Structure 1
Amino acid sequence: MKDIVQTDRAPAAIGPYSQAVTFGNLVVTSGQIPLTAQGELVAGGIAEQTEQVIQNLRAVLAAAGTDLDRVVKTTVFLADMNEFAAMNAVYEQHFAAPYPARSTVQVARLPRDVRVEIEVLAERH
């Protein structure tokens, strides 16, 4: 059975989806973009936006009973692949070896014209 995860420590869904869903011991998050919990877009470039996205993911994962250490797969969506190195510098501050599997793709456009969106698959404790 799937359960819906919702927290006010991350931005509310801006469409017909959930912040995350649990299924057994798995947690699947929706993509997080660099909005504060109040729904405000974070100022700054890719580094600041990536940091906010990861903080949002932390909050959603905590509400689901897990954390970044239990992430097994991430998918990173970038508006500009030229910003990969700057995004990766922030990303690697939050994930430790053994690192999760990851896909990174450049997309034509992201919601609210942000620079980065990240979704994760994690295991609950």
Structure 2
Amino acid sequence: MAKKIISTQFAPSAIGPYSQANFANGILYISGQIPVDPASGKLVEGIVKETHQVMKNLKAVLEEAGMGFRNVVKATIYLKNMDDFAQMNEIYASYLEADSYPARETVQVSCLPKNVDIEISMIAHQD
């Protein structure tokens, strides 16, 4: 198996011993993205801004791999508060096309890195 590490300056740098994404056998595995603005290195706050930033970060990684949201087959969403689900879901959906929604689960967790409210990871398949 040939594995290629995917990295872009348009998404936040990894804050630990992991890659932004790995591409292997036509599948892109994107590490969980949190709402860090890659230009400033600062966190954005509030579930609306946080969700937009996470989706922009994911889009940047996908584009670096020559893909887009249409290629995503699986998403995992971690929320600190399930009361944010409706707002997050509306924003999340705005980045996707209805005919290519990925499989997904959303779970509430007690804490996320840097105490953010949301983290999303994705798996995408090359056409």
TM-score, length-scaled by structure 1: 0.96
Q: Which runs of 4+ in 1 moved over 2 A?
A: none
Instruction: Name the SS for the 1:91 alignment partner.
Output: helix
Residue 114 of structure 1 deviates from its aligned partner by: 0.4
Deviation readout 1:39-88 (Å, 9 max, x if unpaired): 21013x11110000000000011111111111011000000011100100
Give the unaligned 5+ runs of structure 1: none
CA distance in 2 between counterparts of 1:116 and 1:58 reads: 16
Task: Give the letter for the 2:25 counterpart.
Answer: G
Residue identity over aligned pairs, in percent, reads 48
CA distance in 2 between counterparts of 1:65 and 1:25 reads: 11
Residue 124 of structure 1 deviates from its aligned partner by: 2.1
Residue 119 of structure 1 deviates from its aligned partner by: 0.3
Q: Which residue of 2 aligns with 1:5?
A: 6
CA distance in 2 between counterparts of 1:58 and 1:124 reads: 15
Give the unaligned 5+ runs of structure 2: none
Q: Is 1:85 the equivalent of 2:95?
A: no
Deviation readout 1:69-110 (Å, 9 max, x if unpaired): 110110000000111001001011011123110010000100
Count matched residues. Answer: 124
CA distance in 1 between counterparts of 2:96 and 2:66 reads: 18
